[in-house]
Amino acid sequence: MTNQEAAGRPTQEGAHRFSVAHFLIALVLWLACFPFVAQLPYGILIDGSLMTMVLLSAVLAVGGRRRTLLAAAVLVTPALVTTWIDRFRPGLLPGGLALAAAIVFLVFLIAHLLTFILRAPWVNAEVLCAAVATYLVIAILWAFAYTLVARLIPGSFDFTVKGDPYRSMAGFEALYFSFSTLTTVGYGDIIPVSNPARMLAMMEATTGVLYVAVLIARLVGHYSGNRPADITSSQSPSMVLERAGS
């Protein structure tokens, strides 16, 4: 066994090491800028560039092994391509195709991050960043799902606060409603009307409660100050999964 293997690092050539903390920083930056970039002259380009940065950083964060990196790249490519086409040539692609492609990739991303968190033998900064990033990605996933339902079933959401006749379940409105539902705040200014929209809202609220109650509690319960000396805190999710499976 080489020193690199003993340290839990991948030995295959070309393996990527990209911290989940970097992905979390990119994700928070995009969320913070999202409500404001639409008002800028080139808001579409800025928002698209930030989203592309987030998706690519997500691929690198989970792609420590070639197989995982290839799977992530295959899934993120349709999401990026269809999103950019939909921004510059609206109506060229079938409605909801870009959203569906993004949802598929986000499901893959959440599953991989959750597996990394649950298999981690101890809690370090990388695991905590993965836990926070997963929570934020869940909200984004449901925001895309709400937007897709609103496109497929018009009138699925009712806006009780009137004033803007062009207000619709898309963009920041969907993200706002998703975070309100995930955190079970529920201000009541947006109400799901159709059964699919209500079902999505029920599922997201349940997911938010269970995530905080079960997963975060498990991380706290497994916290240990005696971290093994042969593992560094900068390991990526794929490195820990590779070591756990060996």
Q: From CA 152, how far away is CA 139, in angstroms rounded?
A: 20
Q: Is 238's pLDDT higher than 60?
A: no
Q: From CA 91, how far away is CA 61, in angstroms rounded?
A: 33
Q: Residue 153: what residue type?
A: I
Asked if residue 71 lies in contact with residue 108, where contact means CB atoms within 8 angstroms, the answer is: yes
Residues, the chain: 246
User: Is this model's pTM higher than 0.95 or not?
Assistant: no
The confidence band for 66, taking pLDDT boundaries of 50, 70 and 90, is: confident
Higher pLDDT, 230 or 46: 46
Domain range annotation of the chain: 14-223
pLDDT in tens, 210-227: 998 888 777 777 654 444
**pLDDT above 70: percentage of residues in the chain:** 80
14-223 fold: Helix Hairpins (1.10.287)
Highest mean pLDDT (candidates 59-73, 86-100, 160-174): 59-73
pLDDT of residue 27: 93
pLDDT in tens, 78-92: 988 988 887 777 777
